[in-house]
Amino acid sequence: MENSTPTRKRGRPLKTDGSNMTTKEKLVRYGTVILTEKGLASTGLDEILKTVGVPKGSFYHYFASKDDFGLAVIQHYETYFANKLDRCLWNKNRTPLDCLADFIEEAKDGMTRHAFKRGCLIGNLGQELGALNEKFRVPLEKVFLDWQNRVADCLERAKTTGQISSQTDSQEMAAFFWIGWEGAILRAKLVKSCAPLDLFAKHFFNSF
Amino acid sequence: MENSTPTRKRGRPLKTDGSNMTTKEKLVRYGTVILTEKGLASTGLDEILKTVGVPKGSFYHYFASKDDFGLAVIQHYETYFANKLDRCLWNKNRTPLDCLADFIEEAKDGMTRHAFKRGCLIGNLGQELGALNEKFRVPLEKVFLDWQNRVADCLERAKTTGQISSQTDSQEMAAFFWIGWEGAILRAKLVKSCAPLDLFAKHFFNSF
DNA sequence: TTTATATATAGACTGATCGTCTAGTAAAAT
DNA sequence: ATTTTACTAGACGATCAGTCTATATATAAA
């Protein structure tokens, strides 16, 4: 048997080794991918460990439990996604509402590129663990509230440009957006098509 | 040790015994409950078997595999839910749109009664297995299409009573309904409140 | 009545995989 | 030189889905 990845040295790694912080990072990074596809319960630790090339002992050095790992993955995804959202929503060459439409287009690209297998990590784990596990429920909902605020801010900007009525309840519309959007992603995975995403987007923009 | 449930008789059951079909039924019935709460992967066979009081041999007599059992549970839920839907939607004392609102109220009652832990089996399994397992994806989507048709029919009736414009695309609105509704259920489980359901319902009815 | 067969229960057993933990190695710090 | 820190290695018991053999009995066939 031969190792595909160069065998990790035992013992404490060299301080000067630039890549010594990457073990945890690699775990979280691949965890984000695989948990988005398969969820937490269906994903075996061994699968992650084998893919990343990290022994079990290391995993439990970095994370207290599998749940703890899941929480770290959520945190990682939260900032990754918030950046993505802001990059779209703060585009100064576009009107606020077009910014939101751009985000939708980018998400559609991502869904298509991954053959409708991934969707949204927060939605997936929310469905799997939200109702069952209080340890996950609260952080998961916090992520949604954060995203909701970013969209609400975007809608507030759309008011100042006169793109939507100043009477609009931005928070409510932002909540409506994420509720419907997550539903659309779930359905898009089922039909393996962007049609549900487009359909929701159309009705969302029509309701201003 | 004493048996909580009266011990099942060994051997081939009486043809005339009215309750001889109940073993399989009991499995499916409890399966519907537990799979709605925890999904397929997170639920162990032993847990189901112990709760229902059925030995493993019986389970694998009735079902070829755990997946096969999951498919049977889906089928059972499909007809149960279709009946529930029709009971609401064909209420002759109410206008078609009020019928839909009644269904929403009934669903809200159910969610509250089960402390926001259950939600919708099809949505849950759709999220868990839809993208991964083709064996589940197709039947799951079929269920949504069936429900969609029932709502579309209801909207057609609303046209004849003049409650909504005859220009409305019933199929599209019905699709929009289930997309948003499943998203709302997911979110309601996260916040342990009916607010997301109400919020989606409000915007849905406003878009006619 | 006797025999054969179909139906279903009963639960021990298997091999794989689960998450967790203890022991050990080696660099770094003292 | 000794201790501490950082990390690896794999053993561990529990549990998983699934299989198998044995048993009991209603029904069908003789």
- What is the rounded CA–CA span in Å between residue A183 and residue A186? 5
Whether the pLDDT of residue A195 is over 90: the answer is yes
Q: Is the pLDDT of residue B198 over 70?
A: yes
For chain B, what percent of residues have pLDDT higher than 90?
A: 70
Residue B52 confidence (pLDDT): 87
Please indicate whether, in this complex, the C-beta atoms of B203 and A207 are within 8 angstroms of each other: yes
With bands split at pLDDT 50, 70 and 90, how would you rate the model's confidence at A4?
very low
DSSP chain A: ---SSPPPPSSSPPTT-TTTTHHHHHHHHHHHHHHHHHTTTTS-HHHHHHHHT--HHHHHHH-SSHHHHHHHHHHHHHHHHHHHHHHHHT-TTS-HHHHHHHHHHHHHHHHHHTTTS---HHHHHHHHHTTT-HHHHHHHHHHHHHHHHHHHHHHHHHHHTTSS-TT--HHHHHHHHHHHHHHHHHHHHHHTSSHHHHHHHHHHHHT-
Closest Cα in chain B to A193: B131
What is the average pLDDT value for chain A, to the nearest integer?
Answer: 88
Are the Cβ atoms of A131 and B117 closer than 8 angstroms?
yes
Q: Is residue A5 pLDDT above 50, yes or no?
A: no
With beta carbons under 8 A apart, name residues in chain A contacting B117.
131-132
Where on strand C do bases come within 7 A of a protein Cβ? 6-13, 17-29
Average pLDDT score, chain B? 89
CB–CB contact A199 B187 (8 Å)? no
Hey, of B138, B186, B204, which one would you mutate to test binding to chain A, going by the most A CBs within 10 A of its CB?
B186
The percentage of chain B sitting over the pLDDT mark of 70, rounded to a whole number, equals 90
| Confidence category of residue A32, pLDDT binned at 50, 70, 90 | very high
Q: Domains in chain B and their CATH numbers?
A: 66-206 (1.10.357.10)
When pLDDT is averaged across residues A129-148 and rounded to a whole number, the result is 93
Residue numbers 140-199 of B with CB closer than 7 A to any atom of strand C: none
Q: Taking CB atoms and an 8 Å cutoff, what residues of chain B touch A136?
A: none
B184:A186 CB<8 A: no
Q: If you average pLDDT over residues B159-167, what whole number do you get? A: 95
More confident residue, A1 or B172: B172
Query: From the Cβ of B26, is strand C under 7 Å away?
Result: no
Render pLDDT for B94-120 as a digit per residue (tens, 0 to 9). Answer: 999 999 999 999 999 999 999 999 999
- Beta carbon of B44 within 7 Å of strand D? yes
